[in-house]
Structure 1
Amino acid sequence: MRAVFLALVIVGCAGCRSLEEPPGGDPPPFEFRLGPGDRIRVSVWGEDKLEHETVLGPDGVVALPLIGDVRLEGSTLDEARVEVAQRLRQSVLVDPVVSLALLDMRSHVVHLQGEVVTQGPIPFTHGLDVVSALSGAGGATRDADLGDVRVIRGVRGKPTAYGVDLEAVLLGEQRAMWLLPGDVVYVPAALTPRWERWWRGALPWADPLPTPTR
């Protein structure tokens, strides 16, 4: 279902001719909060049998020894630790010392689509920009149009497309757009082969050679 939704968003925004300018300045502060798909480890000092690894379900709930289901979605790691400790204190333990570690983050991702080596989600980290995200996906394919990259972001409940000229970014002429969790980076295919674009740029007065055929 999520894949279908992403496809519809890309189809709706990738061809937009009216694009927003990428926001400037530094990325806004980001505080990680647990969400569905995140894997955590819960341990209690002196209680080895209570150490447990689990994944937050689609409803944001985990099942833990002694205390059963606990909703942790939307909690910071420290808030989740305090919640688990309180639940254990209400059961059988006195002043439990709880540790909670994040093992795998799946709830906060950025999606890479189009002419990239590896399509799909990559983990979000604060300060992630378009260049770093593209590198995390293995880079762009040879057919990519780096001058017309789109970043699709939900703004006030509606998908908004931003235009990013990665060629200008790589040349140091523009600053790379920073990303937020849930952003979709779409790299379109170039309508004109890269060798032909180079030819026209280097020799604007000459016609390019015919495209080789197999």
Structure 2
Amino acid sequence: MIFIVPKWCSLRLVGNSKVVKLTMFMPFIGYLILFNNEIINYFSLSRNALGLEPVITEGASFDRLYQLYFGLMLVGVASTLFSIFCPSIVKANEDEYRYYEKELFSMTNKRIAQITDSLTKTVTENEKIQLQTQTDNYNRALSNAHQQRYSGNVVADEVYTVAEKYKKEATANILNMEWSFRVKSMLELRMAITALYGVGFLILLYPSANVFFRVCSIVWGKVWG
């Protein structure tokens, strides 16, 4: 089975969650969990529910406490990495369509230059050629519209309308290239964040699943035993 590393837009579903963001404070408040008597007593409440000996329950309670701590810690580290390294356009937009909607109709020559300059430093040679082609199409939109007029394909009153159409098409292609590159950038970092989230959530899930099955086992024994 081939493991597919989630793109930044997929990690955003978890990383932008307000609840998950709170785990970033885990390194600072972890001692409150490990050394708080009220929390320890809370975990010990399962003694009566499960019908276990106090010694067994105490050990199990501390195990669940440590699992909670380390699970939250791993999720917190993943959230911190996501917050620092996730591309800003991904964090600020739910998907590429929302990004296009924001940028497409408010694009300026300066903004186009910023995007193309940034991408040119990081994309492949083939992508640079495609990017340069779209940049040229944007910059030459008006002259291309005039050429269409001289060819008889566009009337004089429609030149600027056609030029704006050419600009929007070129802009959309440039934005698409930027989004596609950003969501797939930093592969190793996305792998690390995915692993931290996965292991952290599994650790957090295990105590609850364990208690659930043990309670079900006791109930089953009382009903059918």
User: Is TM (by shorter chain) over 0.5?
Assistant: no
Structure richer in strand, relative to its length = 1
Which structure is richer in relative contact order (CA contacts within 8 A, separation 6 or more)?
2
Normalising by structure 2, we get a TM-score of 0.27
